Amino acid sequence: MPLRITKSSEPIKVEQIVMTLYAVPGIGKTSTACTADKCLLLDFDNGSYRAKNRGDVVQIAAWTDVTDITEADLKPYATVAVDTAGRALDVLSAHIMKSNPKAATRAGALSLQGYGELKAVFTTWTKLIRSFGKDVVLLSHSDEQKDGDDLRERLDIQGGSKNEIYKASDAMGRLYMRNGKRVLNFSPSDTAFGKNPAQLPPIEVPDFADKPRFLADLIAQTKTALNTMSSQAVAAAGLLDEWQIAVNECDEANDFTGMIEQAKALDPSVRDNAKKMLVKAAKAKGIAFDKKAGMFIQAEAAA
């Protein structure tokens, strides 16, 4: 079977994403997740009964409850929510230590080998869910820590696993209360994690009876933003390909100097790279850029 190569001139369409939401208990993480499109909730925390707008739920007691999940099982759903990611990793840790004694320390915690297995298994599992054509929503409690006068918010997830959650997430937002209203904010700050590819402003969380597809709409906006970014990347690659062809035709110092104004007129997204390509191509032909004169000259003359 031939290798499937996506050329630089072709967009990579984003069809499924991983979105992480985190907050202190009681803010409404589960209820918010249930407003995702055709959501199936995997309830590791056994707290789904508190969600006012609860949809279909699978109550999880052991990791083996989700290891055999199939595409057919998920056919009626568009989104799989994990409530919570921290508890899911705890359940997975217990499964790993039971299956592989070498993955545990004498104190009953994961060893370094165990943590490696934890990351690998959880990452592979989330990729499996996405391969079924489903969006994934990871819910997490937040851990608030004092740092001087600042209160820092972090994912309440064991060890280095929180870094894996951050890397796997296409978008990450925190729920909090402001002036008696719930707010969802995807933008990172000095004191909180966040990923905001759609550049969404802080959003006041509505009454879900009025907006039952609240999170579904935000996921759709995020996908649109990621696909727009992909299209922009394709356009930029095309411009740079054309620029490289033009640069390759330059032979003399005057040829390269003549390209300077064209470089300044390029789209800002490619301008810096185009200038670097111009200087690099000139250097390869023994031509240097004289910053003081603002022009290219033969290297011998520069010396």
Please check whether residue 215 is in contact with residue 32, taking contact to mean a CB–CB distance below 8 angstroms.
yes
H/E run at residue 229: helix 214-248
Which is more confident, 293 or 134?
134
pLDDT band at 300; cut points 50, 70, 90 = low
Please check whether residue 10 is in contact with residue 237, taking contact to mean a CB–CB distance below 8 angstroms.
no
Neighbours of 15 (CB within 10 A): 11
What is the model's pLDDT at position 96?
A: 92
What is the model's pLDDT at position 166?
A: 83
Mean pLDDT computed over 160-170: 79
CATH of 18-226, one of 3.30.70, 1.10.287, 1.10.472, 3.40.50: 3.40.50
State yes or no: pLDDT of 302 exceeds 60.
Answer: no
Joined tokens for residue 196: 């905001």
State yes or no: pLDDT of 237 exceeds 50.
Answer: yes
Mean pLDDT computed over 73-97: 93
Domain ranges of the chain: 18-226, 249-302
Residue-wise pLDDT tens digits, 276-286: 999 998 998 89
What is the model's pLDDT at position 303?
A: 46
State yes or no: pLDDT of 225 exceeds 70.
Answer: yes
Residue-wise pLDDT tens digits, 172-214: 999 999 999 999 999 988 788 889 988 899 999 999 999 999 9
Residue-wise pLDDT tens digits, 98-151: 988 888 888 888 888 888 888 889 989 999 999 999 999 999 998 877 666 677
CA 96 distance to own-chain centroid: 26
State yes or no: pLDDT of 235 exceeds 80.
Answer: no
What is the model's pLDDT at position 239?
A: 82
| Inter-CA distances, 203 with 32, 147, 171, 212, Å | 12, 26, 14, 15
H/E run at residue 23: strand 18-23
Residue-wise pLDDT tens digits, 25-71: 889 999 999 999 999 999 998 888 888 888 899 999 999 999 889 99
